[in-house]
Chains A and B, each alone.
Chain A
Amino acid sequence: MRQRLRRWRRLRRVRGLAVGDRFGLLWRPALAAGILANLDRIDVVELIAEDHFRASRAGLRALRTLAAQVPLLLHGVSLGAASTVPVEIRRLDNLARLAEAIGVAGWSEHLAFVRGGGVEIGHLAAPPRSQASIEGACRNLERATRIVGTAPAVENIATLVEPPGSTLDEPDWITAIVRGAGAGLLLDLHNLYANAVNFGADPFAMLRRLPLDRVASVHLGGGRWVDRPNGRRRLIDDHLHDVPPEAFDLLGELGRLTPRGLTVVIERDDHFPPFPRLLQQLDEARECLAQARRAAA
């Protein structure tokens, strides 16, 4: 075992990757066969937590079997953690039960609100970036950590609207929450890119202003441009398209800026390409990060 570990570390050094760098995919039933057949090329698998809250015993057993073969990460989408409204205990209980039943390696949630005034938005929305939402998020993350047993990594979201009532810009707001809650940052590079280009910012400057010492994991997704009647263009992060070169460029920059190992997960919700195309994108991420590590060495 120790010999295998030494060989694995040596292989990583030769390729240029940091010891902790891992690459994986978001679990989707349509991708199950491809993932299971290619576990030698997939270091980690991420599961949407809410998809499995009502899993049968057999379903949980299957997930435990999967967890024995590859580290599983739980990804929540419905807590609404970045809100002045407290996260509901029952939602956290669901997460805690699932995490324990499967034996996951970690979990994450979004810096978003998903409901307000009794209305479910059905998606992740950006709250006002204010001191009030920072304090609300820190309280919610403290509660989540206490109930689930481990702290979540928190993810930056894409937004098509500059949230009204904001007194901080996005990097300052994210930094305040991450520092205040002592949380890790799950950095979605396509979300960062989309927000930057949609609102006239430099994505690389935005990246450098984030608390990079807290980044342990990365999401890579894709999206599509839409032309608006007013002549503007907007990039919509839809997880239905390949990871664009700009997101890989940001991954390279991140790799140059932080020496710590990164878990990189490609997110694809639908319109799946042939599985080899996803593996190819994983290889691109690997190569991109390896090049960055070599350049920074």
Chain B
Amino acid sequence: MPGPGPAGGGMSSSALESMLARLYTDEAFLKAFLEDPGAALHRAGLDETDRASLLAIDRDDLLLAAESYSAKRLSRRPGGAG
């Protein structure tokens, strides 16, 4: 069953949402994160809980999601839904 991550804090969703949006859309930042997550997040201004939860993310799943979203944006299918 999909469940909470090991470092789930959850009180600063807004910062996490922003960081996820950047990872999904900024190819260079995603590449840097996949190569060295700690260094990529170093200057992101996240609190320790958010940082830990992002460091625990499954990197292969993140890459697949980013690729999938990118393909969707490029296809420009209006209103494609999830």
Binary per-residue interface labels of chain A (193-232) against chain B in the complex, 1 for a CB within 8 Å, 0 otherwise: 0011001111001100000000000000000001011101
Residues of B within 8 A of A166 (CB): 3-5, 8, 10, 53
A130 to B9, CA, bound (A): 8
Q: Which of A49, A160, A165, A199 has the most CB of B within 10 A?
A: A165
Q: Is the CB of A165 within 8 A of B68?
A: no
Provided the pairs A116-B20, A158-B82 are in contact, do residues A130 and B13 lie with their beta carbons within 8 angstroms? yes
Contact across chains for A133 and B64 when beta carbons are under 8 A apart: no
Instruction: Assess whether A165 is in contact with B50, with CB atoms less than 8 Å apart.
Output: yes
A48 at the interface (CB under 8 A from B): yes
A195 and B79 alpha carbons, distance in the complex (Å): 21
**Complex Cα distance A75/B17, Å?**
23
- Which interface class (under 10, 10 to 19, 20 to 34, 35 or more) fits B? 35 or more
Residues of A within 8 A of B61 (CB): 160-162, 234
Q: State the CA gap A50–B78 with chains docked (Å).
A: 8
Number of interface residues of A (CB under 8 A): 68
- Is A117 part of the contact surface with B, judged by Cβ < 8 Å? yes
Known contacts A119-B21, A230-B60: does B53 contact A128 (CB below 8 Å)? yes
Determine the chain B residues whose CB is within 8 A of the CB of A188 once the complex forms. Answer: 82
Known contacts A123-B73, A160-B65; is-contact A84 B81 (Cβ 8 Å): no
Query: With A130-B10, A239-B81 in contact, do A113 and B3 touch (Cβ < 8 Å)?
Result: no
Note all chain B residues with C-beta closer than 8 A to A242. Answer: none
Instruction: Say yes or no: B16 contacts A165, CB within 8 Å.
Output: yes
The answer to whether residues A165 and B78 also contact, given A85-B17, A128-B10 and a CB cut-off of 8 A, is no
Are B5 and A164 touching (Cβ within 8 A)?
yes
Most buried by A among B17, B78, B82: B82
Q: Name the contact of A195 in the complex, choosing from B2, B11, B65 (C-beta under 8 A).
A: B2
Smallest distance from the beta carbon of B22 to chain A beta carbons, Å?
6
- B13 close to A133 (CB less than 8 A): yes
For residue A122, which residues in chain B have a CB less than 8 angstroms away from its CB? 25, 69, 72-73
Residue of B nearest to A117 (CB): B18
A20, chain B: closest CB distance, angstroms: 23
Selected from B7, B9, B13, the residue in CB contact (under 8 A) with A136 is B13
* Interfacial residues of chain B within 3-39, with CB under 8 A of chain A in the complex: 3-5, 7-14, 16-22, 24-26
> CA separation between A43 and B7, bound complex, in Å?
47
| Residues B79 and A113 in contact, CB atoms below 8 Å apart | no
Q: Which residues of B contact A129 (CB under 8 A)?
A: 4, 10
A-contact bits for B49-61, CB 8 A (1 contact / 0 none): 1100110111011
The answer to the question of B77 belonging to the interface, with a C-beta cut-off of 8 Å to chain A, is yes
A32 to chain B, nearest CB (A): 14
Question: Which residue of chain B has its CB nearest to the CB of A188?
Answer: B82
Cβ-defined contact, B64 with A228, below 8 A: yes
Is A269 interfacial (CB 8 A cutoff)?
yes
The chain A residue with its CB closest to the CB of B1 is A201
**Measured CA separation A160–B54 after assembly (Å):** 15
Indicate if A22 sits at the interface (CB-CB under 8 A): no
A121 contacts partner chain B, Cβ-Cβ < 8 Å: yes
Closest to A194 in B: B82
B13 touches A167 (CB 8 A): no
7 pairs, CB–CB < 8 Å, chain A vs chain B: A50-B79, A128-B53, A160-B61, A165-B49, A165-B53, A206-B1, A228-B64
Q: Give 10 A-B pairs besides A128-B13, A169-B4, A199-B1 with Cβ atoms closer than 8 angstroms.
A: A50-B78, A119-B25, A121-B24, A127-B16, A164-B8, A165-B50, A166-B53, A168-B4, A199-B2, A236-B64
